[in-house]
């Protein structure tokens, strides 16, 4: 099954906070795929205070597009451990094991939440007391019918994860979550 990647840093973030979650953007600066401007606009409109990108970024232009939002990360190590409102969150891509779900499942019980990607298939599930959250992809849906991004509300009461699915990025203008 493979061991989860070791933590390379730990960040402390106070709650309450709304976290924007995305993964697998696969943007290549020389290609045609771009992060839809509707995604950072959505995060901005909803008041996202932290953005977690769970890997397969492929181009720093994605960070530039998200860059005027708070706490966008410039370096993406294999794993980042966060303390968000006193809860432990591990941010990984999910390709350390045979499948993304197995990588996340291996971390269940060790942290309060695992945010991961790799499969392009959204998932919200609690396993052994750990929230496993894969936001899917806003640019490369592959085996899923919709593009997706995630929101993770963190309060003193706990986590409230949400997936936002869309067929056309313009649909995000109608999200009032």
* Residue ranges making up the domain that contains 110: 10-157
Please tell me whether residue 161 adopts helix, strand or coil conformation.
strand
Please report, for the domain that includes residue 48, its CATH number.
Answer: 3.60.21.10
Q: Is residue 42 domain-resident?
A: yes
Q: Is the pLDDT of residue 121 over 60?
A: yes
Q: At 21, give phi and psi (nearest 5°).
A: -125, 125
Q: What is the pLDDT of residue 3?
A: 59
d(CA 115, CA 88): 11
Average pLDDT over residues 103-115: 91
Closest by Cα among 17, 21, 53 to 159: 17
The answer on pLDDT for 79 being more than 70 is: yes
Q: Is residue 149 part of a domain?
A: yes
- Percent of the chain with pLDDT strictly greater than 70: 79
Contacts 24+ apart (CB under 8 A), 56-63: 56/23, 56/24, 56/25, 56/26, 56/93, 56/117, 56/118, 57/25, 57/27, 58/25, 58/26, 58/27, 58/28, 59/27, 59/28, 59/29, 61/27, 61/29, 61/34, 61/35, 62/25, 62/27, 62/35
pLDDT of residue 68: 57
Higher pLDDT, 58 or 119: 119
Residue 167, domain member (yes or no): no
Domain count, the chain: 1
For the chain, the average pLDDT equals 84
Handedness of CA 137, 155, 47, 72 (dihedral sign): negative
Query: Is residue 165 in a domain?
Result: no
Q: Is the pLDDT of residue 63 over 70?
A: no
State yes or no: pLDDT of 160 exceeds 90.
Answer: yes
pLDDT of residue 55: 77
The answer to whether position 174 is within a domain reads: no
Measured CA to CA, the distance from residue 96 to residue 7 in angstroms comes to 13
| 133-144 per-position pLDDT tens digit | 999 999 998 889
Tokens at 133, concatenated: 């959250």
The residue-averaged pLDDT of 48-69 equals 71
In a domain, 118, yes or no: yes
Q: Where are the alpha helices (DSSP H) in 25-161?
A: 38-46, 60-66, 100-107
Category of 146 on φ-ψ map: left (φ > 0), alpha (ψ -120 to 50) or beta: beta
Please indicate, yes or no, if residue 79 is contained in any of the structural domains.
yes
> What pTM was computed for the model?
0.83
166 in a structural domain = no
């Amino acid at each position: 099954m493979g061991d989860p990647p070791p933590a390379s840093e730990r960040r402390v973030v106070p709650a309450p906070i709304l976290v924007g979650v995305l993964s697998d953007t696969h943007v290549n600066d020389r290609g045609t795929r771009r992060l839809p401007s509707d995604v950072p606009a959505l995060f901005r409109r909803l008041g996202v205070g932290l953005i977690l990108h769970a890997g397969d970024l492929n181009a720093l232009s994605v960070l530039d597009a998200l860059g005027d939002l708070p706490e966008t990360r410039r370096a993406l190590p294999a794993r980042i451990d966060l303390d968000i409102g006193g809860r432990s969150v591990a941010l990984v891509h999910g390709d350390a094991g045979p499948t993304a779900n197995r990588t996340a499942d291996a971390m269940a019980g060790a942290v309060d939440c695992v945010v991961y990607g790799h499969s392009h298939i959204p998932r919200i599930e609690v396993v052994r007391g750990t929230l496993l959250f894969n936001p899917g992809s806003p640019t490369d849906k592959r085996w899923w019918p919709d593009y997706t991004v995630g929101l993770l509300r963190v309060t003193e009461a706990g986590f409230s994860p949400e997936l936002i699915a869309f067929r056309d990025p313009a649909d995000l203008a109608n999200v009032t979550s």
